[in-house]
Amino acid sequence: MSQGVMSTGEGMRIFPDVEACIDCGGCVVACKRTWDREIQNQRIDITTMAEGIAGPQGENAAKVDPLIAGENPGETSLPMQCYHCENAPCVSVCPTNALQKEEDGFVTVQDDLCVGCQYCLSGCPFGAPQFPDSNDGSAQLFGTGGIMDKCTGCRPRQEAGKGPACAEECATDAILVGSAGEISDELEKRGSGSFFNDQAMEIIFGEEDAQLFQDYNPDQ
Amino acid sequence: MTNLDHGKFSRVTTMFHSLLALTVFVLFFTGYAIAFNTELWWMVELMGGNRGVLSIHRLAGFALILLTGFWVPYMLIRSASRSNFREVLPDLRADAAAFVQDVKFALGRADERHPNARQFAGYKADEVPLLSYVGKGVIWIFTVELLLLMISGLLIWRKTWLIDFYNSQSVAMAFVAFHGLLGVIMLMGVLFHTFEHGFHPAFYPIEMKAFLPKDQTPNFHGNPDEYETTGIERLRLRPSWRWATNVVAVLVVVGIVSVLVASLDYGGYPVPETLAFNEGSVLRTIGINIGMFVLLLGLLLSVYGNVLRARYLRQRRERAATGTTAADGGEPASRDEPGTSGTDDG
Ligand code: SF4
Ligand code: SF4
């Protein structure tokens, strides 16, 4: 099992370690292979910022410290997927309740309820909602998105005690899975930070658990 | 001799009104089915299911834009229509006075209503303006609402246009909320409009002016001063009017209140502030469905108006063919015809 996966199932949180991600694309491949998704459907995607630019401490050096110091952290890669937010904005904006925050912490999509309005796309700060059918004939004509699809957190795998495919496959253990406490401890142990701003952290972890991550970045 | 026997709209405008009603009702049914999905899930199923309902909404939206895109320039190009436009402009002094007097009247502090509020009430045609301030209000309020709904709808549909401008997701969400809010406000207007024109004692169940072009409406051409009365006494009130009006009035109020309360309750309509699942209550479900029923009633009345118009025109043609006097308003030849009491009583 990947060292990034600390516990699975009930109460699971998923979060990236930007210091570890090397933009290899392993998670993207693992996700597509496991769930056989369409080529344009990116349930997980790696976003690279400031590509080709070295940070003040050199390439591949710490990203979070310079960011906190208000400097350009240099090229930074970040696996983006659904973080199954505690205060999920997508759930709030969905007019048909197709999106639900389940009791075990997973944010799920009910295909039968989704009307393809794409409000969730506007609501999600992390670009997680995907609309693989939005280029199909009628959907394109009327601009509906078709049925929304996003990272499921590999719920069935987690229920069977396995980690999400992306996290298990990650060569550098850059995708952390576990409780909020486990993730913040692991980041601290690695000397990594959260990279996201306070607002995003409160969306993902909720106000209370977001505090866990502030120990490392007291002035962030 | 009353305003009752004056046609109000041209042929193009009556057609526009019926088509506008059709598209707006379809937009309402689809839009509400999505926004109040918990209460109106069955409507989603009827209108293309979750995969089709938005396509119908957008199709109707395009139809609405095409329709107004045709009608507004048409009205502005025709000089006869342009002069009508002046009649619709608010007369700030008289209309405001009429409103104030109406409030006083409702409170029992005024004996009668202002002429600008009295479109139908037993006045001779030359004594009151053709359009009351309420009528003008309906036109302007609907115009502004529809315009804003069209713009916000287009911007929600093509989010990239917005993002290009503002580069922010919150703006897209703000337009979503705005679109929903306008929809709720406009529903109140449409229910009220249906009630006002369908259940007026002189017109019940339908005001034919909205369906019969004015060149086809029997008109009074004599001198009003030669007549003692306005002719309103020749109208017969349908026996069902009283209970039908009471029932529909209750339904309208229940429908409006339910939709309002539900949208407040969901919070920050249509973007709920808190997460709540399967939150529908039985009362709210009934209330919102009642609101939709009144909408359906409005749509059926609009269809019925067109049926009556077709029937009336056919009867006129038949009379003309058999040589009897056409119902030109001089002779109440078609008085026995049901449902057109507002138009055929000269
Ligand atoms: S807001 Fe985005 S990241 Fe958060 S739960 Fe919803 S889809 Fe996932
Ligand atoms: S696209 Fe589907 S899941 Fe997203 S907000 Fe609309 S109905 Fe909900």
**Lowest mean pLDDT, pick from A5-19, B181-195, B274-288, B329-343:** B329-343
For A65, A132, B302, B317, the CA distances from A47, given in Å and listed in that order, are: 19, 19, 55, 73
For residue B207, the one-letter residue type is: E
Distance CA A187, CA A199 (A): 19
Q: What is the pLDDT of residue B221?
A: 65
B37-46 and B282-322 are packed helices; what angle lies between their axes, rounded to 10 degrees? 40
The answer, yes or no, to whether residue A160 has pLDDT greater than 80, is: yes
- Give the pLDDT confidence of A46-64 residue by residue, as tens digits: 998 888 887 777 666 777 8
For residue B252, the one-letter residue type is: V
Residue A16: asked if its preceding bond is cis (omega within 30°), the reply is: no
Q: What is the pLDDT of residue B278?
A: 47
Residue A137 touches partner B, C-beta closer than 8 Å: no
pLDDT band at A1 (very low <50, low <70, confident <90, very high): low
Determine the Cα angle at B20 with ends B14 and B22, to 5°.
110
Q: For residue A123, how far is its CA from the centre of ligand 1 (angstroms)? A: 8
- Give the pLDDT confidence of A102-129 residue by residue, as tens digits: 999 999 999 888 988 888 988 899 999 9
Q: What is the pLDDT of residue A69?
A: 78
Tokens of B182: 């306008």
For A155, A190, B220, the CA distances from B32, given in Å and listed in that order, are: 33, 51, 44
Contact flag B34-A116 (C-beta cutoff 8 Å):
no
Average pLDDT, chain A: 87
Question: Quick one: what percent of chain B has pLDDT higher than 90?
Answer: 26
Q: What is the nearest CA distance from A15 to chain B, expressed in angstroms? A: 22
CB atoms within 10 A of CB B296: 13
Q: Whose CA is nearest to atom 1 of ligand 1?
A: A124
Backbone angles phi, psi at A112, to 5 degrees: -70, -20
Distance CA A44, CA A78 (A): 10
What burial letters (b/e) apply to B99-116, b meaning 16+ CB within 10 Å?
A: bebbeebeeeeeeebbbb
Contact flag B58-A142 (C-beta cutoff 8 Å):
yes
The answer, yes or no, to whether residue A193 has pLDDT greater than 70, is: yes
Tokens of B190: 């449409």
Q: What is the pLDDT of residue B213?
A: 87
- The atom of ligand 2 lying closest to the CA of A117 is 6
pTM (two decimals) = 0.81
Contact flag A93-B59 (C-beta cutoff 8 Å):
no
Q: For residue B153, how far is its CA from the centre of ligand 2 (angstroms)? A: 16
B11-35 and B49-77 are packed helices; what angle lies between their axes, rounded to 10 degrees? 150
What is the DSSP track for A29-57? HHHHHHH---TT--SSEEEEESTT--BTT
Average pLDDT of B99-120? Answer: 81
Average pLDDT of B10-17? Answer: 88
**Among A128, A130, A132, residue whose Cα is nearest residue A14:** A128
The answer, yes or no, to whether residue B328 has pLDDT greater than 80, is: no
- What ipTM goes with this model? 0.76
Q: For residue A130, how far is its CA from the centre of ligand 2 (angstroms)? A: 10
Q: Which of A112, A134, A148, A151 to mutate to test the pocket of ligand 2 (most atoms within 8 A of CB)?
A: A148
What is the DSSP track for B68-112? HHHHHHHHHHSHHHHHHHHHHS--HHHHHHHHHHHHHHHTT--SS
- Give the pLDDT confidence of A73-90 residue by residue, as tens digits: 888 899 999 999 999 999
